[in-house]
Amino acid sequence: MTERVSPKYVDKYWDKIKDRADQGDTPYNLRNCAYMDDFNKPKIIYIEIMTDNEADGYLFPCFSFDNKRFFVLNTGYILTSDTINVTYIVAILNSKLGRHLVKLFVSQLQKRQFRMLAQYVSNFPIPIINNNIQKKIIDLVNKIILSNDSDIQIINEYEDEINILTYNLYGLSSSEIEFIENDG
């Protein structure tokens, strides 16, 4: 049985807790969960530890688009944006260049495992681009989402097109593209 703390006991600490940034409805609450509304937005969901081993069935990188208000638990993360369409961002993150960004920006745990902490992922350079190119990339992602899993050849064609557009967005040279294509 847990012992209940008297409000008078907690009141002794009022001066220390009244200005807490992580308070809920009152300073006595543990946190206000200011990010709760983010779960209702279109978002990117990803797990903390990703394995670079597609031969064993691990897609890498593996960022998922969600517009169905899913929640994640303690080893899952979400990424939302009020300024950039997250469908566009998920295309960049899951591209071959995104694979390279993961290897540059996040902590590597073992030979093929990467720890995808939000503090690293949030530093990925996502270019702000004109709406026409962004729309084209978003349309390709939507086609992939709507594709039947048996249409793997069509999905691969859409992904190849996203990769080409992504390389162009970042202004990569042919030698840089070759390096990334060969999993530099």
CA distance 80 to 135: 18
User: For the chain, what is the mean pLDDT?
Assistant: 87
Task: Read off the pLDDT of each residue in 130-141 and give the average, rounded to a whole number.
Answer: 92
pLDDT digit string, tens, across residues 59-105: 899 999 999 999 898 899 999 998 899 999 999 999 999 999 999 99
Backbone angles phi, psi at 85, to 5 degrees: -60, 125
pLDDT top residue among 133 and 6: 133
Evaluate whether 48 touches 116 at the Cβ level (below 8 Å): yes
Answer whether 154's CB lies under 8 Å from 147's CB: yes
Band of pLDDT at residue 1, cut at 50, 70 and 90: very low
- Residue holding tokens 């030698």? 175
Average pLDDT over every residue of 42-68: 92
Helices vs strands, H then E, count in the chain: 8, 6
What's the rounded mean pLDDT across residues 154-181?
A: 95
Dist. CA 33–CA 112, nearest whole Å: 34
pTM of the model: 0.80
Q: Residue 93 has which token pair? A: 């993150």
What percent of the chain clears pLDDT 70, i.e. is strictly above it? Answer: 88
Task: Look up residue 164 and give its two tokens.
Answer: 């080409």
User: Which region, left, alpha or beta, applies to residue 155 given φ > 0 means left and ψ of -120 to 50 means alpha?
Assistant: alpha
What sign results for the dihedral spanned by CA atoms 34, 36, 37, 42?
A: positive
Q: How confident is the model at residue 14 (pLDDT cuts 50, 70, 90)?
A: confident
Residue 128's pLDDT band (boundaries 50, 70, 90)? confident
Instruction: For residue 32, name the pLDDT band (cuts at 50, 70, 90).
Output: low
What CA–CA distance (Å, rounded) separates 96 from 137?
14
List the one residue out of 85, 82, 75 whose CA is nearest residue 35: 82
pLDDT band at 8 (very low <50, low <70, confident <90, very high): confident
Q: Where are the alpha helices (DSSP H) in the chain?
A: 7-11, 14-17, 86-94, 96-105, 118-121, 131-146, 152-169, 174-181
